[in-house]
Structure formats: C-alpha cells, structure tokens
Structure 1
C-alpha cells in the first residue's frame, strides 16, 4: 500500500533503485541510568542556555539525507513495529524529554521536578509549540495522551508501562503533574522520554486507532512530517517542519530508501549512511574502503542480540532446566560470533544484559562449551539414545521433535549452525523459517517451543528484564519469555522496579541476571558490534545515544542530531 502526497518522489526513488535496490541492519551500547533525586522537590533538569555550538556557517543545513529503508509499519503511535518503527515515529511526534549524546535533555518540557518519595513528577511545557496543522499544543493534550493511551490496547508502549500511573493533572496553562502509585525507577527513560504526546483534536473521536492507518492522521509536533510511505518496499519520505519549535531543522528531508545491498548503495551514493546487518557477512576487507575518505565508521558495543527462546509453557522438554542447560553447554556461542558475525561481536550474555551496559553482571554462569557435560545432563533428565542411532528420545520413548522457528531473512545461517551443533549431542532440530512479521506474531503469541528471536534494548534500563521474564509481566512483546516463573526472580524484579537508589538497584539487577543465567529460559547467542558507516561530507553529527533512543532502541538515527546538526544541547536555528 502506498500513502502519498508527493508522487514526484517515486521518480527519484526509481533512479536510486537503478543503482541498488531492501536491506535493514540491526543494531546496539552504553546505558544511562536515571536515579531519582533525594531532596524534597529537586529540579532534575532545565533548559540549557542555548550554548551548544551550531554547525559551521558553510553548512547551515543538509538538503537531503538518504538512509536504508525497510518496513516497520506506518509510524503512528498505534501501528509502528519494533524499535526501528519507534524511531520512525519519533520524527513526527515529540516526548516530554529526549536524549542527546550525553543523556536527558528538555524537549516538550523545559523543566521538571520530582517529589522526595518519587511518586509525583511535575513538568513545565515549552511555550509556543504547535501541532503540524497549526493548532497550539496544550497541557490538555498531555493529559489526554496519557488517558487515551492507557485505554487503548493497541498502543505500542515501547519499554514503558502506564499501569503505574495513578493520575495526570493539569496544574495551570503550562504545567502538568503525573502522579504514580509507587516510585518507578525508569520513569524518565521509559515514560517521559518514550511516550509520544498526541493531539486531542485528532484522536479524540477515534475508537480504534490501530485501524486508522492514514497519513492525514499523522499530525504531531515533531521536526518532520511524513509525506510518503510505501509499505511494500519500506520507503519513507519525511519533510522538515519549518515551524518546529526549535527552528528550521538542520536536515531538511529524510528519505528511507529500499536497497538490496546497503554497503554497495553507500559506495554508489544511493544512501548516505548504514549499519551492518547480521546476515551480511562483512569481512575486514569489505569494511576497509569505508575506513577511508569519503567514508567513516563509528562503532560501539552491541545492545542487540539474537537469542534462543524456550517456551516453558509448552512443557517437556522445554520446562526442564537440565535440558535447557544442556543446550547451553552444547552451543558454541564464540563459534557463532566468528562464523555468523565474522568476529564483529561478542558471545551472548546468559544474564540477559549487554556486556557494554553499566548494569552488566560479568560473573553469571557462562556455559563454556562442554558437550560431555551436556550429554550427562540429558541422560540424567531421561533424554537418551535408546537404540544407538545417535538420536535421543523423550523420557517416555517418544521422538524428540524440536521445531526451531526463526526469521528466514536474517537468521538462516544461525539456525543451520545450531542444528549442526545440537546434532553433536543427539538432538534433532527441524528448521521452520518465517518472514519477520509472521515470526513476530508467532513469538508474541507463544506459538512455538523453541525460537531464535532478534531484538535490542539490552543496554537500556534493566527493568526490561522484569517486563521480559517476570511471571507477573503483562508484556505482549514478541520478545516476551513464555512460561518462566521463578518466585525469587519475581520478587527481585518487583523490588528493583521501585528502588531509586542506583547502587541498591544494581545489586538487585545483578542477582536477577544470576538467576536468569542459572535457569536459562532464554539463551542469548551473540551481540553484534553496532557499526555505523557514513559519508561525513553529507552529515557528520552522528552519535550513539546513551542507553539507546527512547527506552533503549540501539540505532544511530537520533532526531536531535538531525534537527540541530550537533551532538549536544539545543541551539536555536534560524530559517533557511
């Protein structure tokens, strides 16, 4: 389906496709943790003195920035998909606060305070902000946003939870209070910095927003407006909002272009920057030309992973910890790094947190390859080779039938290697490839026994562990662990949720990682290095956002850089 108000762009797109034609790179590295202040009503942040350095006079704006496309849904708060979809949506909609290269910065709110007990947050809105249709953005829109999203099951709340909110109150024409039922440690990152503020006058009469998939409804306050979206090819066209509250955006036009080979497209000038996808098999020789002008490479530790999920709700063999540990001892994660990522990454951390994160516990069970120990665990659990054919059976003698579901476009190599490794200990594996949307739907619904799932956010706030693994979690995410229930883990997850002292919270999170590594409801396989290749002559203000964009999306496309042309601060920009 094509949503369009500018057909002329398709002609330009066809010209680009003659050079290269659909790739999407995943992702990842370094978190920021927000701990609440301890004073009675301490100001957490306020607007800077507009002291950031503006771009050089010779480059007061970039006319067009071309990036790899890929479909992640219409970028409405109700229809986007995954982290890349959130980033696409963030170009259109603003949040109360945002991040630059150093951490949280004012955005729609110029300042905010929090009560001593961490349950009341007050935000002062920026004056003069207007929606794309010219209507003023008001405190009433903020109150409406929280109420509306809380009552919409289709709302995509990336990393956050609105169940913790008791009320949202308008204090005056510029101030709003958000009252929590209890302290919520990641409030800034997972709600204030992630929840898109939407206009009451657009959505108030819409009962089923997920079905309202039209370009005309995408009225935000953000720096860009989506003027074209081609779902089939994954092409998006964004035009700058010339009336943006911070001034005219530095990047005037963002084109997300479908390409078959992102590196070749970068070389040929069809795109101006790209990441590296898991399935691209990029060698040092392939990367070498991009280390020299007119190109450059930035990289950071991986906050994305490919993980082997066991659905414990399906019963044997997945609900037997000895079986899961046996597979962990069997799978050579270092070999996966070398053969899938060609060395550009790290073995997965069984604790579920990226090694680049400050929340990472390096002392969890590592599961160095030990297939003799794996065989002993399988024998002990009753999964034995009873007839000498090299294939194990279930304890009741029935065939051991493992169906491995995965995204066929990006995980085929990983799946093949896993099948070969498991054969070493007599475990047969049948491969079940899917397209990404089907795979996401299948894993979200728990319709699998074992699956490879790729996702980021492992460097963001560690409350992600609670949302993913706690038996009380209401997460509907495709990355949700199914059937796992450990009362000790649940108790720790609940405690860290409300613990605002960072040292105390870190101790809780470290223990949570130890339990996950011991229980192995999920085995992270590898964390790809997060590389970003680009043309500095087109755009040079790239940076990796600490802890990821929003609640942890490990992508380099921060709208702050596109708007300001800088890595820090909020310099006001004049018109072109």
Structure 2
C-alpha cells in the first residue's frame, strides 16, 4: 500500500473515531428508544390469568373491543362501532382490521371465542361477563353478543376483556396453568420479548404492525423491585425513568423524600377508586348487624389515616363511599370518630366484657375475636391494618390480623367468603364494574367483597343494570349512595390522590389514563424519550 493510501486510510479512521462512526447495527442500538419502568408488582410468571400483576400488563399485548378514557368515557378500540337490538339484549360490534403478533388476521371468530372461553374457563370473568349468554361471529368483521337481559353498563365491563387468538387458546383446557410464550400473543402495541424472574427483568418490544401505528417507544423494560425504597433509589439515580403499580402511584409516605430532587417531576391526580376501605362480610354475624357496623365506623381515626397513611394526600371520606370525581357523586355525611357512640351501641347490642379480661365478648359471653384480612402487596394496607387493630382494640374489640398475598386475598374474598373484616382498595375500573358505582364490590351475586344480599340494595342494582335514561340513572345512583351511607356495608377509610413520579430529564409526554395509569395507549403515542 502506498504511503498516500495509508495516510488517507488513517485520516478516515481518525475522523470516524472522532465523529463516533458506528456500524448500521450499532447505530440502530444507539437510537433505540427504551423506556425503563420500576415496579414492586410481584410478577412471578407469564400467565395472563393466574398471575394477577402480569395480567395487568396484558393491555400492552392485547387490545379490547373498547377502552376507558378521561372521565370514564368509553372509546372504540378494536370495535369501530356498535349497536344494540332487542331493547339492549343483543349487541352487534363491527371490527376494524387488525392482526396478531404472529401475523394472523384478527377476526370476529377470535372475539366470539374469547367471550365464550373466558366465561367458561376463567373464574373472574364469570362476574365480569355475568349477563352474557353467548357470543357468535356473524361474518369476518362482525360479532354478536347476546345477553340474558339488558345491561346498561355492559361496555364498561367489556373493557377488561382482552381479545385472545383462537388458534392459540382453543386447545388450552387449563388457561390458569398455561405459561407458554404463545400465551402472550395478541394484537396490542407491544410484543412480549422475555421475562427473567431471577433478575427481575420483563421486556416488551414495539409492535411495528400495530393498527394505530408503531408506538414512540421501541422497548419497554420493567425492573421488578422487592421494596419501594430500592425502587425509589433507582429512580433518583436515573436507573429507571418512572415507576408503575396498577391503580396506584407511589406510597404517599415517601413522597416528601423526593420533593426537590433534581430532574424529578410528578403527575398528581385524584384517585377515582377508594384508596382503602374496611369491608364487612355482611352474611356473617355480627357484621350482618347494621348497628354493629355503625359502631365500628365511629371507632376509626379517619383524620390520622389521611395524615399518616396517605401523608396528607387524602381527605376524610363520606359515608356514601363513592369519591367526588364521579359524575353522579352525591354529598353524604362525613365520617367521624366518636367513641361514646361506639361504646353506647356495643353495650346496647350486648357486646361487653363478661369476665374482666379487658375484651368484649359475644352477648352470650363466649369469647369474641375478629379476623382482619389485608393485602401484603400494598404497603399502605399493611400499615393501616395496625392502625385499625389499635382503634378497635381501644374499644375492647379483639382483633387478629390476617396478612394475605394477593392471590390468597382474592381466594378468601372473591370465592370462599370466609373473611370477617378486610382492608382493600377499589380500582377505578372496579368502581364502574357490574352496574357501576362500586356495586360489583358490594353485591353478593358478583365479586361481592361485602357479600351483601340485602334486598333493598339488590333492587336498586337491578334497576340500574337495566336503566339507560340518564336522569333515571342519576336518581338510582343517588339512592345507592344513600343506602351505602345508611347501611355501611363497607367503610371508606380515606379518599386520596395518586402521585406518579418520573424523570423529566429522560422522558416527557406521559399521560395518566384513569384505568391503566401511565401505561395506557395515550402514553405510547405522545411519549418522548430524551
């Protein structure tokens, strides 16, 4: 090689190094828009049904017919349009053109299969789709769903039905045990790539063929932490761009430690769910006695819960349960602590200390103890359980704490109904399920954490299920909140705010969807990775 050629080659190499020249493959990696999310959701498998928290993320992989947007409005998703017939008993949906991640076309057969399969095979959908009789494909892009009776709130309940590919699931007899990666195939904005349980890394890649267009994020990486403190340290150091926990922001008690930190910004929104509530099993004595529930309500330190559990990002709730942000919210009496009322009612009911050991007994003088179940996956619930135990024991009611992980909690409250008392939140979607306005949590015929079979309540719910005229619905929903306040089947403990931190130096354009938080579709088409 001539000295001139060597000189030119060396010059090009030096210029390339100085300019950062890289191969096309490396250039692609350099420009990859990666969004890293920290979470304490205890994801253990890729089963979209048996692993509650991985199931939350199925919205990344699988679309629904409709979705819920700002203000609880229903938006078309895979359904371009719909109409009702037979006074609301039959729903006809027209589908848009879309395809699954494996390239196969999504058709009405997939939608009909999904509805029928979930009702038959997955227990929670027997509540979500309680009034569905059958679904059938009319043609490739038209599906008909037949209900047993009119259901005015049907679309809201349909918003948790992610469409499954029939060719993947039709031979799966036990969906709660299906952990093949094929179980993650959907048509949604992201494609499942990998889950490493040992390292706590869960990865999704953008679906380049998504019907709305390719998302503005190429790759989502969830880093799973065992506690909030480690996750927050990663956020402060810039190792994650934001945090995520379904229907919840960050633990309010640690927000103060983040305020003023460089490059940290916050989205703060009113929670349309109830942050924490005390649920009575209303078919178990003495929790089936209204006056006993009222007595407990006056023993609770609502102002302390708002101050110390929610760190001031909350207010004392009303007895009517439904938070203020809902369209047909009705002002009911504010809950308050009054130990004189508690003691007077308990004495009148015959709950007194018969043997001088300091604890109130049953009216027949046998020992009385209440089990208080709570979820260990939500730190506020664990702290709150100690406060409530203290408050109830201050009036002589003995309490045994019953810590449960989320699957066990759901088994006890959703199916077995063996609880006395329980602490749990409601989600925004959950508030709207069944007939809406928390009815699914109360009605024993649905999920029914309060296990209520009170005919007065059920008559209002049945009327609400059928009613489509807005003014009549308003009237029924007002009656509903009045009966919640009067009967206290469950006691809201505080109404709070959701605080969502993120690294403003690394990301912008996050949109807080009222149902899915920052991982709703709105984010994926507005986000900017810096």
Q: 1:486 to 1:140 in 2, by over 3 A?
A: same
Relative to 1, partners in 2 of residues 1:165 and 1:450: Cα closer, same or farther, differing over 3 Å? closer
TM-score by length of 1: 0.77
| 2:190 counterpart of 1:190 | no
| Residues 104-115 of structure 1: pairs in structure 2 closer than 5 A | 104-115=74-85
Q: Is the 8 A contact 2:431 2:437 kept in 1?
A: no
Matched, 1:558 2:520: yes
Partner of 1:339: 308
2:298 paired with 1:298: no
* Match in the other structure for 1:492: 460
Q: Does the CA-based 8 Å contact 1:402-1:428 persist in structure 2?
A: yes
**What CA distance in whole angstroms lies between the structure 2 residues aligned with 1:141 and 1:224?**
19
State the partner residue of 2:234. 265
Q: Which of the residues 473, 490, 496 maps onto 1:528?
A: 496
SS at match of 2:480: helix
Q: Report what 1:311 is aligned to.
A: 281
Q: Which runs of 5+ in 1 are unaligned?
A: 1-59, 550-554, 568-576
Q: CA RMSD in A?
A: 2.8
Work out the CA distance in 1 between the residues paired with 2:527 and 2:251: 31
Aligned twin of 1:245: 211
Q: What is the SS of the residue equivalent to 2:474?
A: helix
Aligned position for 1:176: 143
Indicate if the aligned counterparts of 1:78 and 1:156 stay in contact, CA closer than 8 A. Answer: no
C-alpha distance in 2, partners of 1:189/1:204? 26
1:395 is displaced (CA, Å) by: 0.5
Corresponding residue number in structure 2 for 1:502: 470
Q: Secondary structure at the match of 1:331?
A: coil
Residue 465 of structure 1 is matched in structure 2 by: 438
CA drift at 1:373 = 0.9
Whether contact under 8 Å (1:349, 1:366) holds in the other structure is: yes
1:121 aligns with 2:121: no
Structure 1 residues 432, 185: CA separation in 2 closer, same or farther (over 3 Å shift)? same
Q: Name the CA distance, whole Å, in 2 between partners of 1:407 and 1:470.
A: 21
Q: Shift of residue 257 of structure 1?
A: 0.7
User: Retained in 2: the 8 A contact 1:326–1:377?
Assistant: yes
* Alignment pair present for 1:406 and 2:374: yes
Q: CA deviation at 1:329?
A: 0.5
Equivalent of residue 453 in structure 1, options 407, 415, 424: 424
Query: 2-side partners of 1:481 and 1:101: how far apart?
Result: 28
Q: Which residue of 1 aligns with 2:349?
A: 381
Q: Is the 8 A contact 1:222 1:241 kept in 2?
A: yes
Alignment of 1:437-448 (within 5 A): 437-444=407-414, 445-448=416-419
Instruction: Name the counterpart of 1:63.
Output: 34
Deviations 1:295-322 (A, max 9, x none): 211111122422212223332x322222
Q: CA, structure 1 residues 505+221, in 2 after alignment: closer, same or farther (shift >3 Å)?
A: same
Give the paired residue count. 486
Query: Closer, same or farther in 2 for the Cα pair 1:285/1:396, shift >3 Å?
Result: same
Moved segments of 4+, more than 6 Å: 276-279
Deviation at 1:372, TM superposition (A): 0.5
Whether the 8 Å CA contact 1:251–1:565 is kept in 2: the answer is: no
Q: Distance in 2 between matches of 1:529 and 1:404?
A: 25
Give 1:101 shift.
Answer: 4.4
Deviation, 1:232, is 6.4
Counterparts of 2:135 and 2:527, CA distance in 1: 34
User: How far off is 1:158 after superposition?
Assistant: 9.5
Higher helix share: 2
Q: Does 1:220 align with 2:186?
A: yes
Contact conserved, 2:133 with 2:146, CA < 8 A, in 1?
yes
Tell me the CA shift for residue 514 of structure 1.
1.7
Maintained 8 Å contact 1:345/1:527: yes
Deviation of 1:538 (Å):
3.1
- CA distance in 2 between partners of 1:436 and 1:170 (Å): 36
Partner of 2:297: 328
CA contact (8 A) 1:71 1:235 kept: no
- Which string of whole-angstrom CA distances, capped at 9 and with x for unpartnered residues, describes residues 147-191 of structure 1? 222222x25439732x42344343333222333333212222221
CA distance in 1, matches of 2:46, 2:317: 31
Aligned partners of 1:69 and 1:256 also within 8 Å: no
What's the CA shift for 1:376?
0.6
Select the structure of larger CA radius of gyration.
2
Higher RCO, Cα 8 Å, sep 6+:
1
Helix, strand or coil at the partner of 1:286: coil
> TM-score, normalization: structure 2?
0.84
